[in-house]
Amino acid sequence: MRPFVLPLLIMFAVVSGCRKNDTLFNAYFWTSVDTTQSRLSLFVDGEPKGPLPYLENEPSCGDVHALALTLRSGKYRIEARDEHGTVRSQQTCKITEHKLSASGTVGGERAKTDGHCLVIGLFY
């Protein structure tokens, strides 16, 4: 075997074993904060996604009243900002095929997963 073949085989084995998990999730966002006093908008990694709907009760998967997005598995900075741009809730969410974890620095969140469905509530 030529001396350069073995390193190429090892490199191929390592690279082919590293697969990115691109699982898609249906994510439903909402707030328990009465938005008649302060309107909240959702931002994901700094990008505006729309107004957060106020719901008295936690929605279920597929609820048409929640703000629905499709997210790939990965790590996201999730924020709820008021009409002045002030961050009222900020969380870092890590979504994998088998787990949803969140840690917050501002405000609060309530998150649950059911298969490939996420329900995330933001409040302050």
DSSP state of 57: S
* 104 backbone dihedrals φ, ψ, rounded to 5°: -115, 155
User: For position 75, what pLDDT does the model report?
Assistant: 96
> Over the chain (124 residues), what is each successive 10-residue block's mean pLDDT?
47 43 91 84 98 94 96 96 95 88 84 91 91
Contact indicator for 122, 41 with CB cutoff of 8 Å: no
Asked, for residue 109, whether it belongs to a domain, the answer is: yes
Domains identified in the chain, total number: 1
Asked, for residue 1, whether it belongs to a domain, the answer is: no
Asked, for residue 9, whether it belongs to a domain, the answer is: no
Range of the domain at 93: 20-123
Asked, for residue 99, whether it belongs to a domain, the answer is: yes
Asked, for residue 4, whether it belongs to a domain, the answer is: no
Asked, for residue 77, whether it belongs to a domain, the answer is: yes
Asked, for residue 10, whether it belongs to a domain, the answer is: no
Q: Which two tokens stand for residue 99?
A: 């787990």
Length of the chain: 124
Q: 58-93, pLDDT tens digit by residue?
A: 999 999 999 999 999 999 999 999 999 999 999 999
Asked, for residue 3, whether it belongs to a domain, the answer is: no
Give the global pTM: 0.80
